[in-house]
Amino acid sequence: MKRILCLLIAILATSSFALDHFWDMRYTFGPESRPSPKIGVGLGIRSAFNSDVLFPLNFTTRLNKQFDVGAKLDINTYNKLDQIHSAIDLGTRYRFKPSSFLAFDGYLDLSDINASAIAFTLGTQQFIAKCFANYYELRAGFLDGATGKDGYVKFSGAMIPTLVFGQVFRMFLEVNTSFSIGNLRDDFMIDIIPKMELTFGGTHVRIDFDVGVMQEKNNDVKTIALYVMTAL
């Protein structure tokens, strides 16, 4: 298993990344259709293969069949830990159908209050077959942290076809687009994000990589992300 993970990391390390910061403004590690466990914790690492590294840590809990709540701490380190910027996200999710939910997140940048934001999410997952599902998501974000200084509201949409191989392995292909009203020319992105996830009991190990398109300036950074989420 260690050899497989090392091989996946080596392959993904050659891929180019460009991910809208709005994608991080939620208490989960990206779009997530599954209900939270009764108590769950997670940690991750996202590196640009230089001295800048992101360490996200999260906590989630299920209050009942309809409501989940969670928190995430993003620790951004720069120049070999010479600078550290942190942000915390507090969110809740209401599941109005077994596979559909509404979510609210408040994202507070602890280093720059002007970079904070709020976000609303509508998500739904549809199983087309036992081994294939589609997840759809629409989001709206407000305040400068999401829209930028000249924007009014940030919108994003995602579609994630998912192949399910039993209880152990899943493959995702997220297609995500985002733009800001009032700042459309400089803030319009389309990202293609392949993901692979292994499950060991109540633990999920996921590797993400992202291919940004539409804007050349978004494709000049190489990054890989690894997330580990477990139920306690």
143 band by pLDDT with thresholds 50, 70 and 90 = very high
HEC string for the chain: CHHHHHHHHHHHCCCEECCCHHHHCCCCCCCCCCCCCCEEEEEEEEECCCCCEEEEEEEEEECCCCEEEEEEEEEEEECCCCEEEEEEEEEEEEEEECCEEEEEEEEEECCCHHHCEEEEEEEEEEEEECCEEEEEEEEEEECHHHHCCCCCEEEEEEEEEEEEECCCEEEEEEEEEEEEECCCCCCEEEEEEEEEEEEECCEEEEEECCEEECCHHHHCEECEEEEEEEEC
Confidence band of 212 (pLDDT split at 50, 70, 90): low
pLDDT tens-digit readout, 175-203: 988 888 887 777 788 888 899 999 999 99
Work out the average pLDDT over 194-222.
78
> How many whole angstroms separate alpha carbon 190 and alpha carbon 211?
9
- Return the pLDDT at 122: 98
Which of 4, 62, 15 minimizes the C-alpha distance to 221? 15
Report the percentage of the chain scoring pLDDT > 70.
87
Q: Tell me the range of 37-41, 76-80, 147-151, 178-182 where mean pLDDT is highest.
A: 37-41
Nearest partner of 188 among 200, 180, 196, 199, judged by Cα: 180
Between CA 164 and CA 169 the distance in angstroms is 6
Q: Is the pLDDT of residue 17 over 60?
A: no
The answer to whether residue 1 scores a pLDDT higher than 50 is: no
Q: State the pLDDT at residue 163.
A: 96
What is the pLDDT averaged over residues 94-105? 96
pTM of the model: 0.86
Using CA atoms, how far apart are residues 210 and 193, in angstroms rounded to an integer? Answer: 4
pLDDT in tens, 115-140: 899 999 999 999 999 899 999 999 99
- What is the overall mean pLDDT for the chain? 86
Structural domains present in the chain? 2-231 (2.40.160.40)
Amino acid at 12: L
- At 6 the pLDDT is 42
pLDDT at 68 > cutoff 90: yes
Q: Residue 2: its pLDDT value, please? A: 44
